[in-house]
Amino acid sequence: MEIILASKSPRRVELLQQFNIKFRVQVANVPEEQRDSPKQTAISNASAKARAVLELFPKSLIIGADTIVVVDQEILGKPRDREDAAKMLRLLSGRKHHVITGVALVTEKVQRTFYEETAVFFRTLADYEIRTYLNTGEPFDKAGAYAIQGIGGAFVESISGCYYNVVGLPIPRLLLELRDFGIDVFA
């Protein structure tokens, strides 16, 4: 069965490649919407992406994913601009936040969804660190305005949960779920 990743995220592509999963990418152009809770939002958006791509490739297994950052019940998506990114980083500074990734695995006959949640603790950031980080350009296409696998990882004091989830795809859980579809990267 062909696997299609319904995402334009280069981080998700890299993660799947790292684990030797054979797939191709088809971007799903669906609007992201907020639901009643952050978990519902992530799962709903992941499902919408996967279902949209399934219409184009009905004989395939579609992987949809949506990652959001939550602090004080406020969902932080991708920053709109430099000012928005700076605001997000100041909000995360010296605090704990949660990264939630919703995942949808969809075929013609089956739709399976799940989410992973990871707590991330940021150290206190100085204004000059935020300015310097913004100048790298790294924060602008990432939920919460940072990349744990990049320069932004220097701001992370600790995490509790799945590291890969913070990058954008909870690989350990995904690999287990894929086994139910006959895909085992360790076989």
Residues serving a catalytic function are: 66
Confirm if 46 and 66 have CB atoms less than 8 A apart.
yes
What whole-number distance in Å separates Cα of residue 85 and Cα of residue 70? Answer: 14
Confirm if 50 and 105 have CB atoms less than 8 A apart.
yes
Collect all residues with Cβ–Cβ distance below 8 Å to 37 and sequence separation of at least 6: none
The separation between the first and the last C-alpha atoms of the chain, rounded to the nearest angstrom, is 16
